[in-house]
Amino acid sequence: MILSDFDLRAYLSSGRLRVDPFSEEIVRENGIDLRLGKNYCMVVESDSVLNLSKNEDLSKYYECSESEEFILKPNKRYLLHTLEYVSLPPELMGFVELRSTFARLGLMIPPTIIDGGFEGQITIEVLSTSFPINLKAGIRFLHVVFSKLTTPVSKPYRGKYQGQKGVKLPVLKD
């Protein structure tokens, strides 16, 4: 079952679903809009082979920075994050999508799920379009549709990205 704005407000007011900082304007008809944070990392081209079986320093594959305003270069991949820190109860999960205006500009994100029990800022991969786009921190960028599970998950998320803040680079070790 997809939660409506009525259901979302009930979850938020009860504290079962937490969004911090919260603003009433982010609650939409069937989800919550999340705003863009100010950390970003561009994936850089490299001839260096990444060995997934080694505990390798991945920072050499990214150029990371922080700014209130930045430009997405054409046809590049970025890691961005949300301003909001979210906390989901074990009976909810979220489908993360771009707001339609950004999708209509040609930006893309891979399918992204927020697991029941997750808490943290959301790190999202974005594939830029064929022209530069200026983004400002705080702009409503993502839309999350929440679904109530038929039963709460028996093992709420406690993985390597729990509690993340800012852009979190991939963690290869289990």
Residues with Cβ within 8 Å of residue 24, at least 6 apart in sequence: none
Distances (CA, A) of 173 to 55, 123, 161: 7, 18, 12
Question: What distance in Å separates the CA atoms of residue 165 and residue 120, rounded to the nearest whole number?
Answer: 6
Question: Residue 166, by phi and psi: left (phi above 0), alpha (psi -120 to 50) or beta?
Answer: left
User: 122 and 86 in contact (C-beta within 8 Å)?
Assistant: yes
Question: Which listed residue (56, 97, 119, 125) is catalytic?
Answer: 125
User: Does 97 participate in catalysis according to the annotation?
Assistant: no
Q: Is 96 helix (H, G, I), strand (E, B) or coil?
A: strand
- Which residues are catalytic, by number? 125
